[in-house]
Amino acid sequence: MPTLSETERDTIKAGDVWRDAELFTSDPDWNKLLGAPPERLSEEEQAFLDGPVDELCAMLDE
């Protein structure tokens, strides 16, 4: 087996793409999409939004 690149590993760890696949079909199952629970951010993702992203947005508001 060839080794995976860091990008490929990150993509695999990100989860599945069933929502994207459903949306890009010619006839998405809206009940399935709307009935699915929302995705949750990891602690690391939330910390990034609460830290650097908030800081950047505050700088842009000045």
pLDDT digits (tens, 9 = 90+) for 2-16: 888 888 888 777 767
pTM higher than 0.75: no
Q: How far apart are CA 62 and CA 55, in angstroms?
A: 11
Q: Which two tokens stand for residue 52?
A: 């650097």
Tell me if 17 sits within 8 A of 11, measured CB to CB: no
Task: Tell me the domain boundaries of the chain.
Answer: 6-61
pLDDT of residue 14: 73
Q: Give the C-alpha separation, 36 to 3, whole Å.
A: 34
Average of pLDDT values for 34-48? 92
d(Cα 17, Cα 25) in Å, to the nearest integer?
13
Give the confidence band of 54 by pLDDT, cuts at 50, 70, 90: very high
